[in-house]
């Protein structure tokens, strides 16, 4: 029986580590190949870690609460009936002879030696793979490709003699663009000042990690890249409130809690169709604007682990009731830490509903690579003068925060006005229905 | 209590100290552990002191052989060598450089720990010094513990009569006769240096010639001729068998092509190569894999089999050269700081400080063919046709440029001649940039300089160097190789 190491596999794009929530096995347990052995909280979601091999669990290498990096040995397993671990790939023979030409004397022919470097010593994959010596590109271009996540090996260069130019790399990146955005993003060099407090029992220090660390990185990047501006306005939502009261009962019959958010989604999608720049991304690497013809609307969910943004995909293709059902399901999953990674990937536009907690207005931060975020706030009764009489209406505040590189102030103002027209007259939404 | 760091670097040589400085620059709390010398072998018993003495030897050689022709009248008799003063000067050079390293580390906020490092676990390192033992822990470690001279059976180093390169660089008196075992680059650098200082030198080489596999064969030929002229005796296919004391010196028994021969000398220097220090610091004990040649196994990020531990320099892989170690030091520091880096340099230029110097970047013709470049353009330009070389009275040697015949992309440049060491950087840049012969030929090189030979060698590879006679352009067929100024 051979004891094998089980390493933490790649658990998602851009995920390099996770916090061990709890073990699903203990030493002595018999496990099957692909059986989940642990629950890990990554910066994006909680995932189950499978073991690629079956056997008897021998040793758990971490305890709950530990942060495990991809590639580390998580458990050892006594493999049943399997052969011994494959020997490490051995490199060239030729032991260091005690006669010259000695190892140190190999100069000219040693050029290649530094390169292959007996990869596989630690089972960690290097992405993109190192440029082979055949690649014709300057050191700076090779580094650019690496930082952009582009594999320069085998790229057809447009330069003389097939040289891969900087432009070649940039356009290769543009082809696969936006989707891989945040993963390839190189954190800007921002000052990282230390905090010197009083120390002792008056302060507690905890590591910045997991979801909180990812939130910090994403927001820092968004603030670094995007020039934000926010526009605010108030809408008379008396009609909307009445309409929602009517539909609420119908929704309950279908087992769905109808909130205001689905109405906002629908009014937004109709408005964004008029203003496509709000459903776009800027591909900085390629120097292009990407207009998206699909509507994946994210909504900010406050959870015990921190802010998460689940997504209603293809929201324009779904009925109000379907959208309402999905929002309530996704919000539940978010609270329980059960969101899958792909339920949080690929938003084209985000809505944040701060009104459910409080506050009249906020200036939210855009979820890069999106270019706008929409805020909705709490409904209030407000006295108004109407035909010389004091009457009462329901009002709701809305904000739109936009990427000023792409969206001018006046455009945002027209966008908000068009949205408010729809939300104040929800009947109009019928006209937009598809 | 153990001190905690983000990164602890083991070894303050040209790999380690550079890695530590870059780590500190990137905002990581960093310590470096050094048991012997700041700057490592390179600054203290390797590159720097050997270059100091080689410079001195070259100086004396020129004084004896070239100065009279230039119009200097030397006083009758020999120029006396004050070995004690020369050693003092050499020590001053080393101390100055090592002091600079210490200041740089301090200035960057790197904690310097003096002592012998041994891993207790993969997370904890013990540092033992005369003042006791302390422990440090770190999130990442960088192993930069270098290499040491190889001993051969029967020739254990005592650094009095049987010397390693370290001892050979620290002789208090100038010997009359030296036997150097090993005709690799270290042996020949030391051997020619002592020959220049007036020592009778015999080199014992097991192979068919000196510098085998270490440099372009044409370049080696130039050096071999000069060795002969300088009076260095080279025994090839010769194996050192044993030695015994003879008077205050040694008698070395050498098997030369099957015949035993006894050579008397003051000392014997053994320079048969260096081996990685992977058997120290309990590296294997904490699970680092080591290959059969003794190098710590790493990937292209220089990450070892234990993911939070990296290895750079001589202990990690060939070529065992200081500048490769420094490059890796920067690379690893940036990897630890979260940047996406991997080793992808196309060439590590190499220099051999023999007389004349040999320097190379990229592939030899043989290597280029093996790499699939079936058709090559090879251009050679001699220093004898270069105005600056003639005015310096250093005309031995040439620049050889090798390019792919289809694309004219430069594959390798080999220089033997004056200041080859200082000329090779242009070659390395050309290769890294993916330059073609035309790129070098069309770059205006200043006159009168040795650097013009690079431009001329590129022109020669294209078939039309100005300062050597090549077949006239007009006699060639239109479109023949070499005629395309910019295809």
pLDDT (tens digit, 9 = 90+) per residue, A168-227? 888 886 554 333 333 334 444 566 777 877 777 788 888 887 778 878 888 888 888 899
DSSP state of B290: B
The alpha carbon of residue A287 is apart from the nearest alpha carbon of chain B, in Å, by 22
Q: Which of B301, B342, B434 sits opposite A136 (nearest CB)?
A: B434
- For residue B304, what pLDDT is reported? 96
Out of A92-96, A122-126, A383-387, B295-299, pick the least confident.
A92-96
CATH topology of domain A131-176: Dihydrolipoamide Transferase (4.10.320)
* Cα–Cα dist B427/B362, whole Å: 8
Out of A91-95, A120-124, A172-176, B45-49, pick the least confident.
A91-95
Nearest CA in chain B to A7: B307
The alpha carbon of residue B226 is apart from the nearest alpha carbon of chain A, in Å, by 20
Q: Which residue has the higher pLDDT, A301 or B325?
A: B325
CATH-assigned architecture of domain A211-432 = 2-Layer Sandwich (3.30)
pLDDT (mean) for A89-118: 38
CATH topology of domain B162-272: FAD/NAD(P)-binding domain (3.50.50)
pLDDT band at A13 (very low <50, low <70, confident <90, very high): low
Q: Which residue has the higher pLDDT, A52 or A113?
A: A52
Closest among B205, B238, B241, B237 to B223, alpha carbons compared:
B205
pLDDT band at B37 (very low <50, low <70, confident <90, very high): very high
Longest dimension (CA), chain A: 108
Chain B partners of A112 at a C-beta cutoff of 8 Å?
367
Q: How many residues does chain B have?
A: 487
Percent of chain B with pLDDT over 70: 96
Task: Name the token pair of B241.
Answer: 């068998």
pLDDT (mean) for B239-261: 95
CA distances from B84 to A382, B43, B172, B173, B358 (A): 98, 20, 6, 7, 30
* Cα–Cα dist B220/A316, whole Å: 75
- For residue A228, what pLDDT is reported? 94
Nearest CA in chain B to A141: B433
**Same-fold call for B162-272 versus B356-475:** no
The enclosing H or E element of B13 equals none
Domain boundaries, chain B: 3-149+275-336, 162-272, 356-475
DSSP state of A317: G
Decide if pLDDT at B424 tops 70: yes
Torsion angle of C-alpha atoms B335, B341, B345, B349, degrees rounded to 10 = -20
Q: Which CATH code of 3.60.150.10, 3.50.50.60, 3.40.50.300, 3.30.1330.20 fits the domain covering B3-149+275-336?
A: 3.50.50.60
pLDDT (mean) for A17-38: 83
φ and ψ at residue A303, rounded to 5 degrees: -125, 165
Bridge partner list, B410: B403
* Cα–Cα dist A19/B131, whole Å: 40
Q: Which residue has the higher pLDDT, A191 or B178?
A: B178
Contact B342 A133 (CB under 8 A): no
* Cα–Cα dist A420/A415, whole Å: 9
Given CA atoms A274, A278, A281, A282 in this order, what sign does their dihedral have?
A: positive
pLDDT, chain A, mean = 80
Given CA atoms B445, B451, B454, B460 in this order, what sign does their dihedral have?
A: positive
CATH-assigned architecture of domain A2-79 = Beta Barrel (2.40)
pLDDT, chain B, mean = 94
Out of A383-392, B27-36, B160-169, pick the least confident.
A383-392
* Cα–Cα dist A349/B255, whole Å: 82
Q: pTM above the 0.80 mark?
A: no
Residues A109/B364, Cβ–Cβ less than 8 Å: yes
* Cα–Cα dist A202/A405, whole Å: 44
Pinpoint the alpha helices (H) of A275-370: 320-336
Domain boundaries, chain A: 2-79, 131-176, 211-432
Residues whose CB is less than 8 angstroms from the CB of residue B338 and which lie 6 or more positions away in sequence, other chains included? A187
pLDDT (mean) for A3-11: 78
The distance in angstroms from the start CA to the end CA of chain B is 68
Chain A partners of B434 at a C-beta cutoff of 8 Å?
136-138, 161, 163
Neighbour-count burial for B448-484, b at 16+ CB within 10 Å, e otherwise = ebbbbbbbbbbbbbbbbbeebeeeeeeeeeeeebbee
CATH number 3.30.390.30 is the correct assignment for the domain at B356-475: yes
Residues B178/B266, Cβ–Cβ less than 8 Å: yes
- For residue A134, what pLDDT is reported? 85
pLDDT (mean) for A248-257: 87
- For residue A60, what pLDDT is reported? 87
Pinpoint the alpha helices (H) of A74-209: 139-147, 166-176, 181-184
The residues of B annotated as belonging to the active site are: 447
Decide if pLDDT at B128 tops 60: yes
Query: Which tens digit of pLDDT belongs to each residue from A76-102?
Result: 888 764 333 333 333 333 333 333 333
Residues B157/B163, Cβ–Cβ less than 8 Å: yes
Order of strands across the sheet that contains A46-50: A46-50, A36-42, A17-23, A67-69
pLDDT band at B237 (very low <50, low <70, confident <90, very high): very high
Chain A partners of B340 at a C-beta cutoff of 8 Å?
146-147, 149, 186
- For residue B196, what pLDDT is reported? 96
Out of A32-46, B17-31, B123-137, pick the least confident.
A32-46
Which of A114, A160, A213 best probes binding to B when mutated, by most B CB atoms within 10 angstroms? A114
Contact A96 B215 (CB under 8 A): no
């Amino acid at each position: 029986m051979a004891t094998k190491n089980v390493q933490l596999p790649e658990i998602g794009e851009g995920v390099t580590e996770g916090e061990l929530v709890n073990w699903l096995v203990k030493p002595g347990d018999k496990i099957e190949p692909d059986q989940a052995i642990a629950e890990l909280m990554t910066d994006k979601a909680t995932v189950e870690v499978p073991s690629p091999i079956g056997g008897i669990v021998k040793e758990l290498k971490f305890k709950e609460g530990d942060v495990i990096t991809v590639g580390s040995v998580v458990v050892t397993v006594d493999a049943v009936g399997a052969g011994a671990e494959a020997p490490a790939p051995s490199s060239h023979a030729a032991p260091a002879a005690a006669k010259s030409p000695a190892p140190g004397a190999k100069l000219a022919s040693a050029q290649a030696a530094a390169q292959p470097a007996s990869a596989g010593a630690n089972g960690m994959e290097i992405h993109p793979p190192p440029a082979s010596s055949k690649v014709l590109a300057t050191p700076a271009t090779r580094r650019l490709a690496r930082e952009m996540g582009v594999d320069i090996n085998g790229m057809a260069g447009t330069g003389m003699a097939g040289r891969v130019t900087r432009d070649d790399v940039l356009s290769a990146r543009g082809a696969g663009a936006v989707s891989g955005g945040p993963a390839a993003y190189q954190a800007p060099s921002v000052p990282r000042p230390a905090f010197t407090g009083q120390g002792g029992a008056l302060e507690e220090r905890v590591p910045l990690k997991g979801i909180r660390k990812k939130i910090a990185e994403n927001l820092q990047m968004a603030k670094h890249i995007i020039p934000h501006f926010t526009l605010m306005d108030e809408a008379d939502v008396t009609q909307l409130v009445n309409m929602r009261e009517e539909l609420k009962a119908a929704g309950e019959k279908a087992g769905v809690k109808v909130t205001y958010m689905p109405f906002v989604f629908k009014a937004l999608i109709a408005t964004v169709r008029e203003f496509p720049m709000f459903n776009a991304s800027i591909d900085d690497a390629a120097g292009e604007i990407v207009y998206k013809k699909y509507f994946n609307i994210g909504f900010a969910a406050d959870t015990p682990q921190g802010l998460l943004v689940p997504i209603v995909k293809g929201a324009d293709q779904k009925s109000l009731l379907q959208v309402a059902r999905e929002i309530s399901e996704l919000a539940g999953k978010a609270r329980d830490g059960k969101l899958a990674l792909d339920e949080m990937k690929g938003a084209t536009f985000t809505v944040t509903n701060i009104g459910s907690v409080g506050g009249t207005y906020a200036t939210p931060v855009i979820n890069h690579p999106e270019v706008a975020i929409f805020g909705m706030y709490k409904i209030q009764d407000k006295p108004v003068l109407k035909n010389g009489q004091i009457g009462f209406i329901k009002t709701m505040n809305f904000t739109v925060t936009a990427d000023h590189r792409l969206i001018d102030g006046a455009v945002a103002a027209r966008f908000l006005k068009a949205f408010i027209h729809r939300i104040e007259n929800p009947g109009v939404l019928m006209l937009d229905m598809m | 209590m153990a001190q905690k760091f983000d990164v602890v670097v083991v070894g303050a040589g040209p790999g380690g100290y550079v890695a530590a400085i870059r780590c500190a620059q990137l905002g990581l709390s960093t310590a470096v552990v050094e048991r012997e010398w700041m700057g490592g072998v390179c600054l203290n018993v390797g590159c720097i002191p050997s270059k100091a003495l080689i410079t001195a030897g070259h100086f004396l050689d020129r004084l004896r052989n070239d100065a009279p022709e230039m119009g200097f009248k030397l006083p009758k008799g020999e120029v006396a060598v004050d070995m004690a003063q020369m050693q003092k000067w050499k020590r001053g050079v080393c101390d100055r450089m090592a002091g600079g390293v210490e200041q740089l580390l301090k200035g960057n906020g790197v904690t310097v720990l003096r002592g012998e490092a041994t891993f207790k676990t993969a997370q904890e390192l013990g540092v033992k010094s005369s003042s006791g033992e302390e422990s440090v822990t770190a999130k990442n470690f960088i192993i930069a513990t270098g290499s040491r001279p190889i001993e051969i059976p029967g020739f254990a180093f005592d650094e009095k009569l049987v010397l390693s390169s370290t001892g050979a660089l620290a002789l208090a008196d100038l010997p009359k006769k030296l036997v150097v075992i090993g005709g690799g680059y270290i042996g020949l650098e030391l051997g020619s240096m002592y020959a220049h200082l007036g020592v009778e030198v015999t080199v014992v080489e097991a192979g068919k010639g000196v510098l085998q596999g270490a440099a372009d064969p044409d370049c080696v030929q130039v050096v071999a001729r000069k060795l002969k002229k300088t009076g260095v005796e080279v025994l090839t296919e010769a194996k050192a068998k044993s030695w015994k004391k003879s008077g205050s010196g040694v008698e070395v028994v050498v098997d030369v092509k099957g015949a035993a021969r006894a050579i008397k000398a003051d000392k014997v220097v053994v320079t048969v190569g260096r081996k990685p220090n992977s058997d120290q610091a309990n590296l294997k004990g904490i699970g680092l894999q080591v290959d059969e040649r003794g190098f710590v196994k790493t990937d292209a990020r220089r990450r070892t089999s234990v993911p939070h531990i990296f290895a750079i320099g001589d202990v990690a892989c060939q070529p065992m050269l200081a500048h490769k170690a420094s490059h890796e030091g920067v690379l690893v520091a940036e990897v630890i700081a979260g940047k996406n880096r991997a080793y992808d340099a196309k060439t590590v230029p190499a220099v051999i400080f023999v007389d004349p110097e040999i320097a190379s970047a990229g592939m030899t013709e043989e290597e280029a063919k093996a790499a699939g470049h079936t058709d090559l353009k090879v251009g050679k330009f001699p220093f004898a046709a270069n105005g600056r070389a003639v005015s310096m009275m250093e005309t031995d040697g040439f620049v050889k440029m090798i390019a792919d015949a289809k694309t004219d992309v430069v594959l390798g440049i080999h220089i033997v001649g004056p200041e080859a060491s200082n000329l090779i950087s242009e070659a390395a840049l050309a290769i890294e940039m993916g330059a073609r012969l035309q790129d070098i030929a069309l770059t205006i090189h200043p006159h009168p300089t040795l650097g013009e030979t690079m431009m001329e060698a590129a022109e020669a590879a294209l078939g039309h160097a100005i300062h050597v006679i090549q077949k006239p352009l007009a006699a060639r067929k239109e479109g023949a190789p070499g005629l395309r100024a910019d295809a």
